[in-house]
Amino acid sequence: MSLCWRSYLILAAVAVVGVAGQWLGGLWAVLWLLPAAIWLGALLWEARWSLAGAGLRSDYVVPDAAMLGRPVEARFRMENTGAYRAQLEVQPWFPEGCQGANTRLWLMLAPGSGDDLHLRLTPLRLGLVEPPTLYLRRKGAMGLSWWRQSPVPPPGPLRILPARLEQGGTAPGISRQGALARERAGSGPDFLGLREYRPGDPLRGIDWKATARSGRRVVRTFTEERGAELLLVLDLGYGSGLQSGPLSHLHHYVNAASRLAELATSVGDRCGLLAFADEVHLRLAPVRGNQGLQRVRSGLAGLRSVPRESNPLKAALEVRRLLGQRALVVWFCEMEDPETSSQLLRANALLARKHLPLIVGIAPEDVAEMAEEPASDWLDPYRNYAAQTWLHDRRRMLEHLQRLGVETIHAPAAQLDGAVLSRFHQLRQRRRV
């Protein structure tokens, strides 16, 4: 219970009457007891009326599922079936794994009416997350005090899944139909054109009429449709638990990997998943179609950070065992740790002989700003030097990876999804896989 301003005014008046009565004496000395008794009686009536619920009925609706890091709305409806006007204060309490505005909300309900409140919440982890509990208090019918009501618990846990592409969404220029078109000499479903004979082309592909006209051997080329292979490799080690905005690095990687898997399977590619830290925790061989997508999304939904040092070399050996043909291997990992970086270089040098590795990492935005920020106290030069050293080491590593033939993406967390989908589009256009 907490008193309203009206009660404070009444108590001030009672105090004035009591002080005046002490000066005047006689009956005036006990006159203050009358308004005090009336105020206490009204307060007791309010308590009984308010604590009994007095005609309030609530309905709390939360979605069954939501996507990681994507805001969703929960609806809270309160109806006043009593004979008095109801003024309510609603305070949501967000548990761990769920973020929202901890601001007080107000409802003013006339007798027989109802109203809705929409709560915007953002899930911050995968799995089952409890929505906010709503704590209520009601203003008494006479406006003397606020009275606590029974809190409204959430109707059930919210199931959090990795993010998906927007409705009809895709990277620019990528058709969501068919597989990757390949050029080959010989015969096929669609005639592409003529070109000069190359060693290794089948003799049946030679166009003898065009050869006779040009005096050089010419072959016919056709398109051959076939899907590529994509393997998503996620690092679950120490670095995956770092925060970037409201989400951890691992959760940013899970969202980007989920959307990439959805896009790849929609264009006919096979998609698989491998998760590692000091050892391999999950391996799913590439599978085409909706079955492959659901396996990958279920695997991503169950990933958790592991407080262990990562071993990319062990993961690379498992990748070689898992993949039979040339594939695009997308690593979602940290590149800042010196020990992990050296292993990552050796692991991708091993894979680059047959596959096309693409390393994806989150670039902290504040480091570049720190490197150029003017000094304002004696510690700033040391901070600037540390930031410049970090940027220099990162640049050297990225250059080393590029010399090995490894593609890299190092983008801020907010731009990670778009950068990954755009690079996938470019690699398909250039037919790198």
Q: What is the mean pLDDT of residues 234-255?
A: 92
Of residues 152 and 373, more confidence is placed in: 152
| pLDDT, the chain, mean | 84
Q: Above 70 in pLDDT, residue 221?
A: yes
Of residues 260 and 431, more confidence is placed in: 260
Q: Above 50 in pLDDT, residue 335?
A: yes
Q: Which helix (H) or strand (E) holds 8?
A: helix 5-24
CA distance linking residue 74 with residue 154, whole number of Å: 10
The answer to whether residues 269 and 289 touch, using CB atoms and an 8 Å cutoff, is no
What pLDDT does residue 420 have?
Answer: 94
Q: Above 80 in pLDDT, residue 224?
A: no
Q: What is the mean pLDDT of residues 367-371?
A: 75
CA distance linking residue 247 with residue 242, whole number of Å: 9
Contacts of 122 (CB under 8 A, 6+ apart): 69, 70, 71, 72, 98, 99, 100, 246
Q: Above 60 in pLDDT, residue 168?
A: no
For 267-293, give the DSSP string.
TT-EEEEEEESSSEEEEEEEEEHHHHH
Of residues 205 and 312, more confidence is placed in: 312
Dihedral angle computed from the Cα positions of residues 14, 19, 25 and 29, in that order, rounded to the nearest 10 degrees: 30
Contacts of 68 (CB under 8 A, 6+ apart): 123, 124, 125, 126, 160, 161, 162, 163, 247, 251, 254, 255
CA distance linking residue 294 with residue 405, whole number of Å: 31
Give the tens place of pLDDT for each residue, 4-32: 888 899 999 989 988 888 888 888 888 88
Q: What is the mean pLDDT of residues 145-169?
A: 84
Strands 158-161 and 65-67: parallel
Q: Above 70 in pLDDT, residue 191?
A: no
The answer to whether residues 264 and 271 touch, using CB atoms and an 8 Å cutoff, is yes
| Cα diameter, the chain | 135
Cα–Cα nearest to 428, from 164, 175, 168, 163? 175
Q: Above 90 in pLDDT, residue 279?
A: yes
The answer to whether residues 59 and 134 touch, using CB atoms and an 8 Å cutoff, is no
Q: Above 80 in pLDDT, residue 169?
A: no
CA distance linking residue 417 with residue 269, whole number of Å: 19
What pLDDT does residue 167 have?
Answer: 57
For 347-353, the CB contacts below 8 A with 24+ separation are: 347/312, 347/313, 347/315, 347/316, 348/312, 348/316, 348/401, 348/404, 348/406, 349/404, 350/313, 350/316, 350/317, 350/320, 351/316, 351/319, 351/320, 352/404, 352/405, 352/406
Q: Between 312-322 and 338-351, two packed helices, what is the crossing angle to 10 degrees?
A: 20
Q: Above 60 in pLDDT, residue 189?
A: no
CA distance linking residue 22 with residue 73, whole number of Å: 60
The answer to whether residues 256 and 360 touch, using CB atoms and an 8 Å cutoff, is yes
- Under the banding of pLDDT at 50, 70 and 90, the label for residue 298 is very high
Q: Above 90 in pLDDT, residue 393?
A: no
Backbone angles phi, psi at 186, to 5 degrees: 120, -130
Tell me the C-alpha to C-alpha distance, in Å, between residue 432 and each of 67, 138, 199.
Answer: 32, 65, 21
What pLDDT does residue 50 have?
Answer: 65
Q: Per the structure block, which two tokens stand in for 159? A: 């199931």
Looking at the DSSP assignment, which residues form a beta bridge with residue 272?
Answer: 231
Least confident of 12-16, 161-165, 405-409: 405-409
Least confident of 112-116, 229-233, 279-283: 112-116
Strands 270-276 and 280-288: antiparallel
Q: Above 80 in pLDDT, residue 223?
A: no
- Ranges of beta strands (E only) in 94-206 are 98-100, 105-109, 114-123, 127-129, 133-139, 145-148, 158-161, 180-185, 190-196
Q: Per the structure block, which two tokens stand in for 402? A: 């590029």
Rg (CA), the chain: 34
Of residues 91 and 370, more confidence is placed in: 91
Domains of the chain: 1-161 (2.60.40.10), 180-225 (no CATH), 228-429 (3.40.50.410)
Q: Above 50 in pLDDT, residue 174?
A: no
- Under the banding of pLDDT at 50, 70 and 90, the label for residue 300 is very high
Q: Which helix (H) or strand (E) holds 315?
A: helix 312-322
CA distance linking residue 327 with residue 354, whole number of Å: 8
